[in-house]
Structure 1
Amino acid sequence: MGWVIDETLFAVWWLLGFVAVNIGLGCWSRARGRADRAVIRRIRREGIGPVEAARQVGDERQAARTAVYLLHLRGAVEVSEEGVLTVVPDAPEPADPVLSALFEGIRRRGAEGARLYEILDDDDFAPYRDRLGQGVPGVRRYAERTRAVALSAAFVVSVGINLHGVASQTPFPPLGSDPVWWILLWFPLWAVLSLSAVAWPGEYSRRWRSFNRYCGQRVADALGEGPPYPVRAAVDKGAYRPTPPGPRRQGGSPSAEPGAPGDGGSSWADDAGAHSCGGD
């Protein structure tokens, strides 16, 4: 261990700095999560609506899909085979404020109805989106960039130790008295220190997994077995906005255009309803 304590313990101080960085990351991460933990405790105590819970564990589309399923299960909305949502005549308005706003938006459409993708951006459903946004838990969905910071600290410390050893001409007795050995030690030292990053969550990993499971269970309890498969498949037909047709080819004959007789294809207008994407 003589090589460690030479030159006023330079290797020890570098390693202590690396430990301090990781301790600081832990304190910073815990401090940032204080407000989130308070929100989670309040929600567990007071409860959360099923649509808001679906938004916490998924995205806006999943929340809208859950809301449509709930309206259908309550007999407030009908779903056609093409995925068009219409209000059932004389159906009572739901008591849930988010479902009520969505119900009103679909009712304003009248016989025209609406598709799932229109709920995400159409002006008729702005009140629904506003109410949903007010009820969604204000907690961070993803972890901090602690893993990247830990990897960066490992790189800086490993390079710092090696450059310090070479600059101070400190020998490394296990391999010899030549200080150049420090340069060869850079990669294995960085590899060892980088293992500490495993203790930190990835940048795109979800935070609050227990709370997410709680929200997922809230959705499952509200839906029960859910609507039958034909209804789910019909809703999914309107989950994504149809892709508009591409520009027409220049210089070709009319028979070469999509949908023209003899090309074996069909026009976008004919296929838009039958080939709309669906699913998650």
Structure 2
Amino acid sequence: MGWVADEGLFAVWWLLGFAAVNGVLGCRCLIRGWGDRATVRRVQRDGIGPVEAAWQADGERAAARTAVGLLTLRGAVEVSKKGVVTAVPDAPEPADPVLSALFDGIRLRGARKTRLYEIVDADDFEEYRVRLARRVPDVRRYAEPGRVVALFAACGVSLGLTAHGLGAGVRLPFLGGDPALWVVVWWPLWGLLALCAAAWPAERTRRWRRFNRSCRRVADAALEGLPGRTRVALRKGALRPAPPRPRQERKRSRPKRDAPTPGGGGWADDSGTDSYGGGGCGGGD
């Protein structure tokens, strides 16, 4: 191991730096996970509302579907076949503050009516979203970018170690002792260190899957009596329609070269066609 001992154990220090980066990542995830675990235990002990459960399990659109479904079951709103939501006249105010804010927003829109996707971002439902955010569990839904950080650390350490060994002229006993062979070592070293990144979950990996499944069961149980027609209409109304594409005028076809051009030829006819047919560049004697 004399090649490692040269230049003050530089290879050991580079590898220790790589291990330190991964260690800091692990400690950070562990510390942040303590708060999440405490929140999950508290929610499982005290219970969670169906709208908040739907948001935790499947996002804000699922929460909007669940909230509208609950209002439908209570006779406060009606849902058309196209997913348009309207308030029922003289319907009682829901006791739940989140449902109450949503019902007020639907009722105030009046003749404008409500599409389900508008609940997510329309200004009329700002109070509903604020109240819902206060009650949603403060739990990370996705993993942190630990894999990306580990990959960058592997690339930096392998490149730095190779450049250090090449610049210091440290010999490689396994490859003939030529210091220039550090350039060849970089790629295998990078691949070996990059394998450590597989220990970290991908950035968009869902966390707390068991908790998410229990939340989904809570939301589904709350909508147990909702008719199938209404469920289908709510799924349709959750999708924002794509904006219409601008119509493109059809280009006029160019006249054939052997066809005579009306008006005696020239660069283009009176309609503005930039064709070279008839008496164009190549025509005329």
Place the TM-score, normalised by the shorter chain, in its bin. 0.7 to 0.9
What SS does the corresponding residue of 2:86 show, helix, strand or coil?
Answer: strand
What SS does the corresponding residue of 1:155 show, helix, strand or coil?
Answer: helix
What's the counterpart of residue 191 of structure 2?
191
What's the counterpart of residue 236 of structure 1?
235
What SS does the corresponding residue of 1:82 show, helix, strand or coil?
Answer: coil
Q: Distance in 1 between matches of 2:247 and 2:162?
A: 63
Identical positions, percent:
61
The answer as to 2:63 corresponding to 1:39 is no
Q: Distance in 2 between matches of 1:164 and 1:156?
A: 12
User: What are the within-5 Å matches in structure 2 for residues 34-113 of structure 1?
Assistant: 34-88=34-88, 91-110=91-110, 113=113
The alpha-carbon deviation at position 95 of structure 1 amounts to 3.0
Unaligned 5+ segments in structure 1 are 253-280
Q: Which moved more, 1:148-157 or 1:100-109?
A: 100-109
Q: Distance in 2 between matches of 1:186 and 1:245?
A: 52
Q: Distance in 1 between matches of 2:149 and 2:236?
A: 43
Count residues with an aligned counterpart.
251
Quickly say closer, same or farther: Cα 1:113–1:186, change in 2 above 3 A: same
Q: Deviation per CA, 1:16-49, whole angstroms, max 9, x where unpaired?
A: 2211111111112223344333333322222211
Aligned Cα RMSD in Å?
A: 2.6
Q: Distance in 2 between matches of 1:172 and 1:248?
A: 67
Q: Distance in 2 between matches of 1:8 and 1:112?
A: 75
What SS does the corresponding residue of 2:114 show, helix, strand or coil?
Answer: coil
Q: Deviation per CA, 1:152-204, whole angstroms, max 9, x where unpaired?
A: 11112112222222222222112112111221010001100001101112222
What's the counterpart of residue 116 of structure 2?
116
Quickly say closer, same or farther: Cα 1:3–1:230, change in 2 above 3 A: same
What's the counterpart of residue 282 of structure 2?
none
**TM-score, length basis structure 1:** 0.78
Q: Deviation per CA, 1:230-253, whole angstroms, max 9, x where unpaired?
A: 22222233323444545566799x
What's the counterpart of residue 160 of structure 1?
160
Q: Which moved more, 1:190-199 or 1:47-56?
A: 47-56
Q: Which moved more, 1:210-219 or 1:152-161?
A: 210-219
Q: Distance in 1 between matches of 2:157 and 2:246?
A: 56
Q: Distance in 1 between matches of 2:250 and 2:221?
A: 59
Q: Distance in 2 between matches of 1:71 and 1:191?
A: 55
Q: Which moved more, 1:131-140 or 1:202-211?
A: 202-211
What SS does the corresponding residue of 1:86 show, helix, strand or coil?
Answer: strand
What's the counterpart of residue 267 of structure 1?
none
**TM-score, length basis structure 2:** 0.77
- Letter of the structure 2 residue corresponding to residue 178 of structure 1: D
- Letter of the structure 2 residue corresponding to residue 95 of structure 1: A
What's the counterpart of residue 272 of structure 2?
none
The alpha-carbon deviation at position 150 of structure 1 amounts to 0.8
Q: Which moved more, 1:48-57 or 1:80-89?
A: 80-89
What's the counterpart of residue 29 of structure 2?
29
